């Protein structure tokens, strides 16, 4: 049987790391086996729906390079892939369950149900709907009109099953209940329709988050009632906040996945980060290309305990990936991130600058701070001298004479990095200063930036005119 996996998000807002990780793992399984990956949209809860979510999901997955062969926007043999367009199908399967005596119309009002719940609570008993199952549930055939709530007539029993991540699991009959199949608005519940869809779409592996694990015994009961074979089930543990104490929430950095794109994270880094959020290949390896992940990923190496979301690690991985891609590739990806001052700079200058800072960039949005002074005139910011440990103790006169000496020494034609290094070394000897002082001072005088690449490289790209005019401007400032 060919592997078919699916990602089945509900269109209820943006996608965050947990959701995307589920998609990635399911996609990796399909890729590895040359199988099919399906994007199904589960829009049966009209109340929770957020406009624009589907487009957002598609854009997010595309950014990451997670592609599907069948899905909401690509018709396939088992479509449509939008659940709200499949209501007929669910009703047809509901009728099969009614016919086999495994579904019945729920006759109770909300108030009656509340009263049952209250009664169970008063008796300190867990509420089970099946304890109140109406007599009509045994009448054949049920008189369900398609407009009232339809419930599953469960067959309570103990289960043992294997989860591809969590291992062997078991539960007793007390967790099995008569859950809702079709709501009174005619829409099916997730519990029902995902099972029908997975069946009809030929899904072989169901990967989903831990929040569904407690419902799994009920799903098993339904598979039996439908006399269908169950797929491989794989439960992915929650992604926790960095403190490991609570599920990752918006306040702990669970933000829209596309926000990372806009902040200058590379998709390679995000994929690498998500894949290693609760998975490793059994070695110390931390950097994985997508191709390597496809080859190495297996469900049995997904950790059973929750992973912690560490944004610093993502940042680190991003820096690693920025160093790994070619300068030309990096240049292409930086288009939207240059400072305004670079607007009229030509490609070769920008590439030169980019080459200098490539191994310092953590996210592409660092680009303006790191490169602005190469293009525009920085303004003198004396507080940077005062706040610099090594420079703060220099008297203004010393600053002046050091900069005068630098200006003279650097007023030369040959601005190659090598030659500048020779000149700068000579300057150290002439002035008797340490590099930490002399080079920091020159660096600030020409850039007024918090960091810059090696001084000789920086000056080489700036060129003689800018170097001399900026040192002169700083000298004028201290006059
Ligand atoms: N629609 C469910 C969700 O968004 C999908 C769960 C599943 O993958 O079966 O969480």
Check whether 138 has a pLDDT greater than 90: no
330 plus 359 within the same structural domain: yes
Q: Ligand 1 within 6 A of 193 CB? A: no
Ligand 1: distance of its center to the CA of 439 in Å?
Answer: 57
Ligand 1 centroid to residue 259 C-alpha, Å: 22
**What's the rounded mean pLDDT across residues 236-262?**
86
Give residue 189's pLDDT band: very low, low, confident or very high (50, 70, 90).
Answer: very high
Binned at pLDDT 50, 70 and 90, residue 146 comes out as confident
Judge whether residue 32 has pLDDT over 80: yes
pLDDT of 249 over the 90 cut: no
Ligand 1 centroid to residue 374 C-alpha, Å: 49
Distance 10 CA to ligand 1 centre (A): 6
Q: How confident is the model at residue 374 (pLDDT cuts 50, 70, 90)?
A: very high
pLDDT at 4 over 90: yes
Ligand 1 atom having least distance to the Cα of 7: 8
> How far, in Å, from the CA of 354 to the mean position of ligand 1?
42
CA of 402 to the centre of ligand 1 (A): 66
State the pLDDT at residue 348.
Answer: 96
Tell me, yes or no, whether 390 and 368 share the same domain.
no
Going by C-alpha positions, the residue among 387, 382, 424 that lies closest to residue 399 is 382
User: Does 151 share its domain with 227?
Assistant: yes
Q: Is 194 in the pocket of ligand 1 (CB under 6 A)?
A: yes
The residue nearest atom 10 of ligand 1, judged by CA position, is 9
Which atom of ligand 1 is closest in space to residue 207's alpha carbon? 8
pLDDT of residue 298 exceeding 80, the answer is yes
Q: What is the pLDDT of residue 141?
A: 64
pTM of the shown model: 0.93
Whether 142 has a pLDDT exceeding 90, the answer reads no
Res. 243 pLDDT band, cuts 50 70 90: confident
Residue 122 has pLDDT above 90, yes or no: yes
What's phi and psi for 135, nearest 5 deg? Answer: -60, -35
Q: Is residue 283 part of a domain?
A: yes
CATH of residue 98: 3.40.50.620
Is the confidence at residue 140, as pLDDT, over 90?
A: no
- What residue's CA is closest to ligand 1, atom 3? 9
Region 290-300 average pLDDT? 97
Regarding the beta carbon of 8 and ligand 1, being less than 6 Å apart is answered: yes
* Listed residues 327, 346, 372: the one ending a domain: 372
Distance 100 CA to ligand 1 centre (A): 28
Whether residues 213 and 159 fall in one domain = yes
Residue 410 belongs to a domain: yes
**Residue 327 domain-assigned (yes or no):** yes
Q: Report how far residue 453's alpha carbon sits from residue 443's, in angstroms, rounded to the nearest whole number.
A: 9
- Regarding whether 356 and 266 lie in a shared domain, the answer is yes
42 lines ligand 1 (CB under 6 A): yes
- Note the maximum CA span of the chain: 104
pLDDT at 143: 74
pLDDT at position 346 over 80: yes
Is the minimum distance from the CB of 208 to ligand 1 under 6 angstroms?
yes
Atom number, ligand 1, closest to the C-alpha of residue 22: 8
Ligand 1 atom nearest residue 190's Cα? 1
Q: Are residues 143 and 218 in the same domain?
A: yes
Number of domains in the chain: 3
**Ligand 1 center–CA 378 separation, angstroms:** 52
CA of 395 from ligand 1 middle (Å) equals: 66
Q: Average the pLDDT over each of 97-106, 137-146, 214-223 and give the range with the smallest value.
A: 137-146
Residue 130 lies in a domain: yes
Rounded to an integer, the average pLDDT of 292-311 is: 95
Q: How big is the chain, counted in residues?
A: 479
Residue 9 lies in a domain: no
Q: 232 and 90, same structural domain?
A: yes
Q: Decide: 216 and 224 in contact? Cβ < 8 Å.
A: no
* Residue 434 domain flag: yes
Domain range for 329 is: 252-372
Question: What pLDDT is stored for residue 241 in this prediction?
Answer: 87
Give the Cα separation of 57 and 20 in Å (integer): 9
In this structure, are 281 and 354 located in the same domain?
yes
My answer on whether 334 and 209 are in the same domain is no
Domain finish residue from 236, 266, 292:
236
The pLDDT confidence band at residue 255, using thresholds 50, 70 and 90, is confident
Tell the residue nearest (CA) to atom 4 of ligand 1. Answer: 9
Q: Which residue among 4, 6, 29, 42 has the greatest number of ligand 1 atoms within 8 angstroms of its CB, and so is best to mutate?
A: 42
Dist CA 266 CA 413 (whole Å):
39
For CA atoms 437, 439, 442, 443, give the dihedral sign: negative
How far, in Å, from the CA of 263 to the mean position of ligand 1?
28
Contacts of 412 (CB under 8 A, 6+ apart): 419, 423, 464
User: Which pLDDT belongs to residue 145?
Assistant: 84
Are residues 162 and 183 both part of a single domain? yes
| CATH for 468 | 1.10.10.350
Domain boundary among 341, 372, 403: 372
Is the domain of 394 the same as that of 426? yes
Residue 318: CATH number of its domain: 1.10.1160.10
Verify whether ligand 1 is closer than 6 Å to residue 16 (CB atom): no
**Residue 338 belongs to some domain of the structure:** yes
Distance (Å) from CA 42 to ligand 1 centroid: 7
Burial tier of 124 (Cβ tally within 10 Å: 0-12, 13-18, 19+):
exposed
352 and 277 fall within a common domain: yes
pLDDT classification of 135: cutoffs 50, 70, 90: confident
Asked if residue 400 is part of any domain, the answer here is yes
């Amino acid at each position: 049987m060919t592997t078919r996996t699916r990602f089945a998000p509900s269109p209820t807002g943006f996608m965050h790391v947990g959701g995307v990780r589920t998609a990635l793992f399911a996609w990796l399984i399909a890729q590895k086996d040359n199988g099919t990956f399906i994007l199904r949209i589960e829009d049966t809860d009209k109340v929770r729906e957020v406009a624009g979510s589907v487009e957002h999901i598609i854009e997010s997955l595309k950014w990451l390079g997670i592609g599907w062969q069948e899905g909401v926007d690509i018709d396939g043999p088992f479509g449509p892939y939008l659940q709200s367009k499949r209501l007929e199908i669910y009703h047809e399967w509901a009728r099969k369950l009614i016919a086999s005596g495994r579904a019945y119309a729920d006759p109770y009002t909300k108030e009656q149900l509340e009263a049952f719940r209250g009664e169970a609570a008063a008796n300190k008993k867990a509420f089970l709907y099946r304890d109140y199952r109406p007599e009509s549930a045994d009448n054949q055939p049920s008189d369900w009109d398609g407009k009232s709530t339809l419930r599953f007539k469960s067959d309570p029993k103990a289960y043992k099953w294997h989860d591809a991540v969590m291992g062997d699991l078991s539960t007793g009959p007390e967790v099995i209940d008569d859950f809702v199949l079709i709501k009174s608005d005619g829409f099916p519940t997730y519990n029902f329709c995902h099972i029908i869809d997975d069946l009809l779409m030929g899904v072989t592996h169901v990967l989903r988050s831990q929040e569904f694990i407690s419902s799994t015994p009920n799903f098993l009961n339904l598979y039996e009632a439908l006399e269908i074979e169950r797929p491989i089930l794989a439960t992915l543990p929650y992604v926790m906040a960095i403190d490991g104490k609570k599920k990752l929430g918006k306040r702990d950095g669970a933000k829209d996945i596309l926000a990372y794109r806009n902040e200058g994270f590379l998709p390679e880094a995000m994929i690498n980060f998500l894949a290693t959020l609760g998975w490793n290949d059994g070695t110390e390896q931390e950097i994985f290309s997508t191709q390597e992940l496809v080859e190495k990923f297996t469900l049995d190496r997904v950790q059973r305990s929750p992973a912690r979301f560490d944004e610093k690690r993502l940042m680190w991985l991003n820096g690693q990936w920025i160093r790994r891609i070619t300068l030309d590739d990096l240049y292409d990806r930086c288009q939207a991130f240059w400072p305004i001052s670079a607007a009229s700079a030509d490609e070769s200058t920008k590439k030169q600058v980019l080459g200098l800072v490539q191994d310092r960039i953590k996210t592409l949005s660092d680009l303006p701070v790191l490169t602005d002074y190469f293009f525009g005139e920085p303004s003198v910011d004396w507080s940077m001298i005062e706040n610099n440990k090594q420079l703060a103790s220099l008297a203004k006169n010393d600053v002046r004479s050091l900069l005068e000496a630098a200006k003279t020494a650097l007023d030369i034609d040959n601005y190659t990095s090598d030659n500048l290094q020779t000149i700068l070394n000579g300057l150290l000897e002439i002035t008797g200063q340490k590099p930490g002082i002399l080079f920091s001072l020159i660096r600030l005088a020409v850039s007024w930036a918090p960091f810059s690449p090696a001084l000789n490289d920086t000056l080489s790209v700036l060129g003689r005119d800018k170097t001399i005019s900026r040192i002169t401007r700083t000298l004028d400032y201290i006059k």
